[in-house]
Structure 1
Amino acid sequence: MSGRRASGPVRVGFEEATLRLPIDAIMPLRDVSAAIRRSIKYGQIAASIAEVGIIEPPAVVRDSVNPDRFHLLDGHLRVAILRERGETEVVCLVAIDDEAFTYNKRISRVATIQEHKMILNAIKKGVPEERLARALNVNIGNIRTKRDLLIGICPEVATLLRDRHVPINVFAELRRMKAIRQVEAAQAMITMNRFTLSYAKSLVAATPGDQLLETTRRRRTGLSEKQIETMQRESENLDREFKLIEQDFGADHLDLMLAAGFVSRLLGNARIVNYLAQHHGDLLAEFQRIADYQEAA
């Protein structure tokens, strides 16, 4: 695949229409090992495909040399299962951006909200909820909870959390707050990188009464007004501190990436590597660790 990189923020787009492609024309970017094929997740996906078919199309990108060949970006397990079943074709999304690294870094296909959308799509296609529950090996209550996931959640929060792994019960806590406070809470969870139920409950507890729904205000018991005011004040202070840290982190991270890039270029020079190996072996080992980190990041 080509190494073309666009300037500015990285964005992944898709061709307007899905394509039905021969499975033999799709080249996986990684193997599905025997251990993965024996896993519970693999079995669940296989059961789902057998029961309701492919709900979410795999994502591919055209080969830069042969436009009739495609590289598989997302959906390795789905395509592997289809091959096992003897299927010869599959409907795919075709990515415009030709970098699998970009796609995999930016898109999470198993995030909570995306799973909610998959279930809605299946229901719209006429798949009964009981059949979905059987396919996904969960009880029907779980399917209905995921179906109704975004009821009472403002669209801005759905956008903020669309690619995050958020426990379902966290959305129940977000519903206790008014829209503006929901957005603040979602932003706080992203800043803290904490999406736990306990943290969501602490945000609700620290929310001023006028930013809670009436039903939540009536339920909030066990804390005095003074305790609530203290929690609100501490929450605001913590939020300010993290915003300051976040600003510094951005600059520090940029400096680190520039330094790591410089080290990687140094290690690309054979003469420098030979010199370091002969005279500064410990320094060379540290440089190699930095370069390895950059490649993995």
Structure 2
Amino acid sequence: MTRKQSAPQVKIGFEETSLRISIDAILPLHEISERVRKSVKYSQIAASIAEVGIIEPPVIVRDRDDKDRFHLLDGHLRIDILKNRGETEVVCLIALDDEAFTYNKRVSRIAIIQEHKMILNAIRKGVSEERLARALNVNIANIRMKRNLLVGICPEAAELLRDKHVPITVFTELRYLKPMRQIEAAQSMITMNRYSTGYARSLVASTPEDQLVEGRERRPRGLTEEQIAVMQRESENLDREFKLVEQSYGADQLDLVQAVGYVNHLLGNARIVKHLAQHHADILTELQKIVDMLEAA
């Protein structure tokens, strides 16, 4: 009877409790330049700290030789701002591994719809728009635009774009479209991996009138009805072509992987390579390019 193997234990990355540390005992990995101090990001973090305090604790690690000294892994801007405010202590997370990289590099920038939901959640909890504007260092009109981001946007289109980095003005364009066309426009942006306002405007311009919201017909300046009709036909043709490509993409990808695998197997045979080099050097060159492209991808 074989002994049952125990599951590997997950190693924790931080000490179990956060600590209040003297800022003077924290050694930064790099200095903050004056250019950075004048940046929008620095101003926003400073405004947030002034309004609501530190939300995400800095990450530090103990010095290997002096346990009363610490190296700053993440939170250089926060620490610099606190110093300039005259603060002497800060609550920190203590990392157990000395990883000399910025933790924020592993964090994705928040998408606009996620930001919208965070603002709504804060307002529901009683945080005023004025306080949010001060904390984010933006004017109150910006907060209200993000609060009303999904007004006039159907839930299905919002769900498609929920984790995409979409300019806020794109949603202004989508409001000209009826729900089904909004979904098609969102799918087109995802397929093309294009989320610019200009691309959204082109989708609106190529939309038939019966798919536009009544009373909100949008027509670009300088285009005749004939030009608009041509854009609509081309957009419809492009949608059909995309759907055909999507239907065959999986099978085509599988065929491609199998074909490249077969070519790679052939080039692993010395006799075949020797024969191709002697009699079909041009073909051997192209086959090697195919394999190199696969390895590079």
Compute the TM-score of the two structures, normalised by the length of structure 1.
Answer: 0.57
1:228 is displaced (CA, Å) by 2.2
Q: How far apart are the structure 1 equivalents of 2:230 and 2:76?
A: 54
Asked if 2 retains the 8 angstrom alpha-carbon contact of 1:177 and 1:212, the reply is: yes
Percent of matched pairs sharing the same residue: 59
Partner of 2:144: 144
1:224 is displaced (CA, Å) by 3.5
Q: How far apart are the structure 2 equivalents of 1:162 and 1:50?
A: 30
Asked if 1 retains the 8 angstrom alpha-carbon contact of 2:176 and 2:218, the reply is: no
Alignment of 1:1-297 (within 5 A): 22-23=17-18, 34=30, 38=36, 40=39, 43=42, 44-53=44-53, 81=78, 86-87=90-91, 108=108, 110-217=110-217, 222-247=222-247, 249-251=249-251
Paired amino acid for 2:240: R
Q: How far apart are the structure 1 equivalents of 2:47 and 2:154?
A: 34
Find the residue that maps to 1:22 and give its secondary structure. Answer: coil
Find the residue that maps to 1:162 and give its secondary structure. Answer: coil
Asked if 1 retains the 8 angstrom alpha-carbon contact of 2:32 and 2:77, the reply is: no
Tell me the alpha carbon deviations over residues 72-117 of structure 1, each in whole angstroms, 9 at most, x when there is no partner: xxxx96799489761258xxxxxxxxxxxxxx7xx95511111111
1:239 is displaced (CA, Å) by 1.8
1:191 is displaced (CA, Å) by 0.6
Root mean square deviation, CA, Å:
4.6
Question: Could you say if the C-alpha distance between residues 213 and 36 of structure 1 is closer, same or farther in structure 2, counting changes exceeding 3 Å?
Answer: farther
Paired amino acid for 1:202: S
- Rg larger in structure: 2
Which runs of structure 1 show a deviation greater than 3 angstroms over 4 or more consecutive aligned residues? 21-24, 32-42, 76-85, 218-225, 243-262, 286-291
Q: How far apart are the structure 2 equivalents of 1:183 and 1:22?
A: 46
1:246 is displaced (CA, Å) by 4.1
Q: How far apart are the structure 1 equivalents of 2:167 and 2:150?
A: 13
Q: How far apart are the structure 2 equivalents of 1:237 and 1:218?
A: 21
Question: Could you say if the C-alpha distance between residues 45 and 78 of structure 1 is closer, same or farther in structure 2, counting changes exceeding 3 Å?
Answer: farther
1:255 is displaced (CA, Å) by 6.7
Q: How far apart are the structure 1 equivalents of 2:218 and 2:201?
A: 16
1:131 is displaced (CA, Å) by 2.3
Q: How far apart are the structure 2 equivalents of 1:33 and 1:245?
A: 50
The number of residue pairs the alignment matches comes to 220
Q: How far apart are the structure 2 equivalents of 1:136 and 1:174?
A: 26
Find the residue that maps to 2:166 and give its secondary structure. Answer: coil
Question: Tell me, which stretches of 5 or more residues in structure 2 are unaligned?
Answer: 1-6, 9-15, 20-27, 58-72, 83-88, 94-105, 263-287
Paired amino acid for 1:142: N
Q: How far apart are the structure 2 equivalents of 1:236 and 1:49?
A: 50
Partner of 2:25: none
Asked if 2 retains the 8 angstrom alpha-carbon contact of 1:206 and 1:232, the reply is: yes
1:54 is displaced (CA, Å) by 6.9
1:243 is displaced (CA, Å) by 3.2
